[in-house]
Structure 1
């Protein structure tokens, strides 16, 4: 659909999307290097191709200082200046350990001592 637009408008749309990504708090961190995320879906993550290396392996996605996602990237390709990375798996990061049992919804949240 975008190929029918004049080149000036396509360039403007790309520039606007880049600005929006810089304002976004989503980022990929690889060691000390940080790369802004243009878009994130359940099975893909999109970065700027000029700023990010071709990714492969486990990556960590942050929203500001919060670690929100860990994913295994199996393929990345450059398309129209964007680095599109596909996830083999992606796990939402939790601040609590996983439970190996079903928690009773009527269970008390804590016990009081018998003092």
Structure 2
């Protein structure tokens, strides 16, 4: 069974769906000192509400709440109904620890006795 709605009702349902997704999503994009709510994110990009989204390009930081996830280089790729989609040129995960600048020795059990030599 197929149901068709009027254009006004369809637009209202779409707006309500987008608002619900924005409330659920904790993802945020920080670009040029401004914060934009990310509606959805996938492996190669993300989408922002069309009313809020300028044609962003360049370096963007992506956060999940207060947790910094990625530092990304993006480009605006396409406009879909109600959202502007951006593709990652580069998405670098943010490190939680400093990189080591030395080789770590493997951990050795110091309490073990050495094997006896075979004669």
Scaled by the length of structure 2, the TM-score of the pair is 0.71
Q: Classify the secondary structure of the residue corresponding to 1:98.
A: coil
- The equivalent residue for 1:95 is 96
Q: What does 1:10-25 correspond to in 2, within 5 Å?
A: 11-25=12-26
Aligned length: 104
Q: Which has the larger radius of gyration?
A: 2
CA RMSD of aligned residues (A): 2.6
Q: Deviations over 1:69-114 (max 9, x none)?
A: 111113332221211001111111121133577867x627xxxxxx
Q: TM-score, normalised by structure 1?
A: 0.73
Are residues 13 and 97 of structure 1, via their aligned partners in 2, closer, same or farther at CA, if it must alter by over 3 Å? same
Gaps of 5+ in 1: 109-115
